[in-house]
Chains A and B, each alone.
Chain A
């Protein structure tokens, strides 16, 4: 049982939350309505700016031609694939760099250069090496997400509490025990937050890759739309991308909550 004040306090919290949600939702609705009104009154050119109704029709049209989920699936699949590879490979490489400090010192400048290089610049080369297909897209996405994964996971490995390491050593641990019992489990939170960045990085990479080479996917929809000057298609693509990106982000957040509850509490 709580005191009366506590219930008033809880009520206040809830009220605040509802207030925020209503505002968030109404901004979106007002924006759509205003857009549609301006389009109806011919104040804005719908050929360039499109309109909510046109976008809605475009999406329905895509759906009817079985182009909607097809394209979403292609992009999602590519993102999941590169996300998984980047996470597993990145963590593995970070572990190797942790294990062999000397290797880390040697490759550090190369990692920094690769990380600061705008990956799009490599686009033309990637097409020639891997052909105009999914391989190029995955490679592009990997370039973008892998290096950042390596760097952030390695940082996590390296920032484990010094006293805990001292404790492990005073107990006479082997290097493998140090990694398996302390370094890895205590970096788990870090790895998961790397995943959060990674999922958006992979999506950016995939869309960039699709701009470069593909014949399918949301990136392709947007690019194709702009080439035939169908702005409704372009904006529909962006809208779908927004939805896909937020679903992916929330999935990873959900995973984070689950994992942390279980392992770190």
Chain B
């Protein structure tokens, strides 16, 4: 598989009036097409900063980011941020509207996505009428609408309760595999990282440097919920848990 993203020595410094903070230092990684990568680390360590820089919301201080030519990025945030005054379909069309790519074909594509992923009856509903898990699914489809091949997920499930969280992570995993996407996910949930991803990158506390990288090799790899029952799951869990500097 070819690399679609190459990051070399990424560095980010935040400036305020009183101090400057080194948030990310010397972050390098290669991302192959179709790969699912998780970035875990203690909270506030600068995980999200990396995603923000990748999709252009923030500037990097130093380093190199190389995207292969045909790569487009979709970004999914922790909050679904659906617009209450737009119905579900119009919410999903937002990206297409902004990029002026809205036409009959792209609209049909979005409607198909909604139908395929269990939102058929809610196309013309308003966000208020949907459960948290469904709203998150809508947010994913909004991200998929512009047809990006690299998806950045920033703690996508942390606003949900545990039950919906398990269900929706299964959902989203299946959707992304089926649509043949590449994914980088930031999470603080170790189990989520292991069960969903091929590779887990552990970051240290601020400034974030890469502490270790785990290639998750489970026998009979299955969906996230099933993966949690895998024998090697506990092994990875313990190893990553030890790697994360955890202090209360």
On whether the beta carbons of A167 and B81 are closer than 8 Å, the reply is: yes
A15 interface residue per 8 A CB criterion: no
By a CB distance below 8 angstroms, the chain B residues around A164 are 81, 83
Known contacts A163-B77, A163-B79; decide if A265 and B94 are in contact (CB<8 Å): no
By a CB distance below 8 angstroms, the chain A residues around B99 are 171-172
Other A-B pairs, 19, CB within 8 Å; known A171-B98, A186-B83? A161-B81, A163-B77, A163-B79, A163-B81, A164-B81, A166-B81, A170-B55, A170-B57, A170-B75, A171-B94, A171-B95, A171-B99, A171-B146, A185-B85, A186-B85, A263-B85, A264-B84, A265-B126, A265-B128
A240 interface residue per 8 A CB criterion: no
By a CB distance below 8 angstroms, the chain B residues around A168 are 98
B97 interface residue per 8 A CB criterion: yes
Proximity bits, A211-255, B CB within 8 Å = 1, else 0: 000000000000000000000000000000000000000000000
Q: Which range holds the interface residue count of chain B? A: 10 to 19
- For B97, give its contact among A163, A181, A186, A264 (CB under 8 Å): A181
On whether the beta carbons of B57 and A181 are closer than 8 Å, the reply is: no
On whether the beta carbons of B57 and A166 are closer than 8 Å, the reply is: yes
On whether the beta carbons of B83 and A182 are closer than 8 Å, the reply is: yes
Proximity bits, A10-28, B CB within 8 Å = 1, else 0: 0000000000000000000
Proximity bits, A173-193, B CB within 8 Å = 1, else 0: 110010001100110100000
List, sorted by A's number, 15 A–B pairs whose CB atoms are closer than 8 Å.
Answer: A163-B77, A163-B79, A163-B81, A166-B57, A166-B81, A170-B75, A170-B77, A171-B99, A171-B146, A181-B94, A182-B83, A185-B83, A185-B85, A188-B85, A265-B128
CB contacts between A and B, total, < 8 Å: 46
On whether the beta carbons of B84 and A265 are closer than 8 Å, the reply is: yes
On whether the beta carbons of B77 and A166 are closer than 8 Å, the reply is: yes
On whether the beta carbons of B84 and A167 are closer than 8 Å, the reply is: no
Measured between alpha carbons, how far is A215 from B78 in the docked complex, in Å?
62
Measured between alpha carbons, how far is A106 from B75 in the docked complex, in Å?
35
By a CB distance below 8 angstroms, the chain B residues around A172 are 56, 98-99
On whether the beta carbons of A167 and B98 are closer than 8 Å, the reply is: no
By a CB distance below 8 angstroms, the chain A residues around B55 are 170
In the complex, residue of chain B having the shortest beta-carbon distance to the beta carbon of A170: B75
Q: How far is the CB of A261 from chain B (nearest CB, A)?
A: 11
Proximity bits, B85-100, A CB within 8 Å = 1, else 0: 1000000001101110
